[in-house]
Chains A and B, each alone.
Chain A
């Protein structure tokens, strides 16, 4: 069965520092990959997606992620953290097969940004 692993349930960075949130997936066939963000007491919002067009994907709010097939990774980065980036981030994979647009989510990484 396919799975998604997010390394680090909590990440803390200083404002202005690099943000790196790690995501690895298990799949023999490159799937579609997503990063979602959840702000406190809100639903999930799509940050960016990989759908096999380009390996470096740019999303909203200055985030980007790079798909690396050899490492089965899809890490999320942002060059300079802002206080408003504090949230929980979920990596998700859509298996290549499956007709109902199934998503498998990682456990999430909570990002804290301190002054």
Chain B
């Protein structure tokens, strides 16, 4: 298993450009997540998905969009890049609890995409 893969590893964008960060997992996980990591701030949840066709906003969704057409893929779209979106982006996945009240599920992380907007 490759686990969670992300492309590209690095990208520099100009203000106003758009791009899609790709995320794929081969573990057949139902749940997928996008985080951004800023220095000294930990990880903030941008969007998440509990299954194909179902997505929802996290803490910091503004300026981003997602889609989940398959179980494996969860791309993150930046439509009009802004300097405030300079960050490291992590995709993660987890199996999803079989019993929501008693089980937990570890999140598995990809290696990240380092994005700079100038």
Contacts and interface: CB of A to CB of B under 8 A. Distances in A.
Given A99-B100, A101-B94, A101-B96, A107 B111 contact: no
A37 to B, nearest CB: 11
Contacts of A32: 104
Contact of B97 (A9, A42, A101, A103): A101
Given A43-B4, A43-B111, A46-B106, A101 B31 contact: yes
Nearest to B49: A100
The residue among A44, A51, A103 with the most chain B CB atoms within 10 A of its own CB is A44
Contacts of A103: 43, 45, 107
Interface in B61-101: 90, 92, 94, 96-97, 100
B34 interface: no
Contacts of B31: 100-101
A94 interface: yes
Contact of B40 (A43, A46, A51, A107): A107
A100 B48 contact: yes
A107 B109 CA distance: 17
Interface in B26-70: 31, 40-45, 48, 50, 56
Interface of B: 4, 31, 40-45, 48, 50, 56, 90, 92, 94, 96-97, 100, 104-107, 109-112
20 contacts: A4-B42, A32-B104, A34-B106, A43-B4, A43-B111, A43-B112, A44-B109, A45-B109, A49-B104, A49-B106, A90-B43, A99-B97, A100-B50, A100-B56, A101-B31, A101-B97, A103-B43, A103-B45, A105-B43, A107-B41
Among all A-B residue pairs, the 9 with the closest Cβ atoms: A43-B109, A105-B42, A44-B109, A105-B43, A107-B42, A32-B104, A43-B111, A51-B104, A101-B94
